[in-house]
Structure 1
Amino acid sequence: MFEKREYPILEFDPNSKAKINPSNLAAKIEATEYCVITFFGDVIKEMLQSGMLNQVATFYSATVNLPIYETKYNGKSIAIVQGFLGAAGSAGLLEELIAMGFKKFIVCGAAGVLQKGIQVGHLVIPDSAVRDEGVSYHYVAPSREIECNKHALDTIVEVFEKEKIPYIKAKTWTTDAFYRETEDKIALRVSEGCVTVEMEAAAFFAVSKFRNVVLGQILFGGDDLSGVEWDSRQFNSRGEIRKNLVELSLKTCLEL
């Protein structure tokens, strides 16, 4: 029996069996163990229109159904699926992907930058995340931060070094509330060493740790929160960056 705490978010229960388990909703499928989760739906759409994808399953939710595709990269099979915005949806998606049989994941997306000098498109490899969301506390005992899987992190760095791709390896800030990124909170996160802010990394790290699968994440610098005013930097229009990052994620995932 877990202990009642002052705040419900701190009441972590390590019991791996819940009333509803992912296997109740997601059946195991015959597919590769490698999977890329990307938040770049336009890249997936382009791949689908080019005949590169074969749908093997679907993630169903009350608001959106996300097709899970299989493709070939360098002659090897790998799955790709669009990410679900936010920690809660991301955790649910990852849970069902694991239940389907996927075991090795690379997640790629964009993030806001908190420090000056990080250009649009510059790649950031999160080695840990500040847990300013709710999902991770249901998978890992309360702590201020959670680390990325070491094997995944080392593999991403190794690929980047081999390809001579510039990168920053640093802490990210995962928050549920992108409209509550206040000046004081940003200053605190920067003082803790965070260089990016996004909505999913801590949840991905926690679920993958709880379920004992390998997961790493790659972010590209998007909008800028480091100045007096927010600057979108038109990061949503950087199609070539997104396409290249998905390809890099496919390559990296197959090295896990």
Structure 2
Amino acid sequence: MKRLDAIINPLRGKNSPDPGKLLLMITSGPDLKFLSNFMNPLKPPVSFMMSQIYIQDTRTPGFCLAGPVTGSPYAVLLMENLMAWGVRDVLYFGWCGSISENIETGDIILPAAAIIDEGTSVGYEKHSGEIVYPSGDINQNIKTILNDRKIDYHEGRIWTTDAIFRETPEKVKYFQEKKALAVEMELSALFTAAEFRGINMGAVLVVSDELASFTWKPGFNDKRFKQSRMAGAEVIKDYVSRFCKTRD
């Protein structure tokens, strides 16, 4: 971990648990609960601010689950602390709103880049409007799993914003022109912080709602949305079994 030049830095305390090298960061509480039951054996969760951290129950932890998270500042705060405890790879699993007419509720997106429209990245030497990218081989490994499982997905840019209630028609149109597929609240900041600290970062998103027509179409109760979240959990479990054990 690098760049500890700030007045306040994330630290590993004497009682900080060993989270392993891989962090599975989960946006929603229901998805976190499902995965924590799905990926046993895990130790009882450790509370950290607004999140729960589940650590693999072995002598040598390989991964941890952490969440829920909302918004760029908190997501990066959580990731920074877990990096200080030993995490070196991060796989993020979250929801997003489609702004492309070709993407519907329940679709899966593999983010190839994120456009910064949030303030956290500014503290990590980036600028609004800049494009940031996943790092390492996590996305490529996820793509391999999606293809092996014959799961359809889209790959492309994501728009990240702090202001969920300021997703105006003008902004949606602007980011459509920038070739963004969807909007969410964490990824550009997470990609930025991961790059800044020199760790690997990838993500998988499930489309929960649609904004492409400039009218909000929520799909949180949509059957296909729920099915895709379960498929995403299977992909994450597969990622852990295939790739987690190969990392130092």
The TM-score, its normalising length taken from structure 2, stands at: 0.85
1:84-99 to structure 2, matched below 5 A, reads 84-99=69-84
Out of 173, 177, 188, the position equivalent to 1:202 is: 188
Q: Is 2:162 aligned against 1:173?
A: no
1:49 shift after superposition: 6.2
After superposition, where does 1:149-160 map in structure 2 within 5 Å?
149-160=135-146
2:55 aligns to what?
A: 70
Note closer, same or farther for the CA distance 1:252–1:91 as it changes in structure 2 (3 Å cut): same
- Alignment equivalent of 2:27, drawn from 39, 52, 56: 39
CA contact (8 A) 2:45 2:55 kept: yes
What is residue 241 of structure 1 aligned with on the other side? 228
Which residue of 2 is the match for residue 221 of structure 1?
207
Aligned to 1:55: 44
CA distance in 2, matches of 1:231, 1:86: 21
Partners in 2 of 1:225 and 1:235 — Cα distance? 16
* CA displacement at 1:157 relative to structure 2: 1.8
Aligned length: 237
CA contact (8 A) 1:38 1:246 kept: no
> Residue 26 of structure 1 contacts residue 96 of structure 1 at CA under 8 Å; is this kept in 2?
no
Counterpart of 1:185 (choices 171, 178, 185) is 171
- Distance, in Å, in 1 between the alignment partners of 2:180 and 2:193 is 21
Cα distance in 2, alignment partners of residues 184 and 250 from structure 1: 39
SS of 1:195's equivalent?
strand
Give 1:99 deviation, angstroms: 0.8
Structure 2 counterpart of 1:55, one-letter code:
P
Aligned to 2:117: 132
Equivalent-residue separation in structure 2 for 1:129 and 1:176 (angstroms): 13
What's the TM-score, normalizing by structure 1? Answer: 0.82
Deviations 1:209-254 (A, max 9, x none): 1111111010011100011421102357744432331231232255
Structure 2: how far apart are the matches of 1:228 and 1:126? 22
1:15–1:150 Cα change, 3 Å: closer
- What CA distance in whole angstroms lies between the structure 2 residues aligned with 1:48 and 1:157? 23
Percent identical among aligned pairs is 23
After TM superposition, the structure 1 stretch with the greater mean CA deviation from structure 2, 230-239 or 203-212, is 230-239
**Alignment partner of 1:19 is 2:10:** no
Partner secondary structure for residue 23 of structure 1: coil
Asked whether the equivalents of residues 28 and 69 of structure 2 are also in contact (C-alpha less than 8 Å), the reply is no
Change in Cα spacing, 1:104 to 1:48, as seen in structure 2 (3 Å) is closer
Between the aligned partners of 1:95 and 1:206, the Cα distance in structure 2 is 12
The verdict on how the C-alpha distance between 1:214 and 1:27 changes in structure 2, with shifts beyond 3 A counting, is: farther
CA distance in 2, matches of 1:45, 1:214: 25
Distance 1:27 1:188, change over 3 A: farther
1:114 to 99, 102, 111: 99
**1:108 is aligned with what amino acid?**
F
Q: Distance in 2 between matches of 1:71 and 1:25?
A: 20
Unaligned runs of 5+ in 2: none
Report the secondary structure of 2:91's partner residue: strand
Deviation at 1:111, TM superposition (A): 0.1
Shift of 1:70: 2.0
Alpha-carbon deviations, 1:71-110, whole Å to 9, x = none? 47xxx84311113200000010000110111111110111
Tell me the SS of whatever aligns to 1:179. Answer: helix
Indicate the SS of the match to 2:84: helix
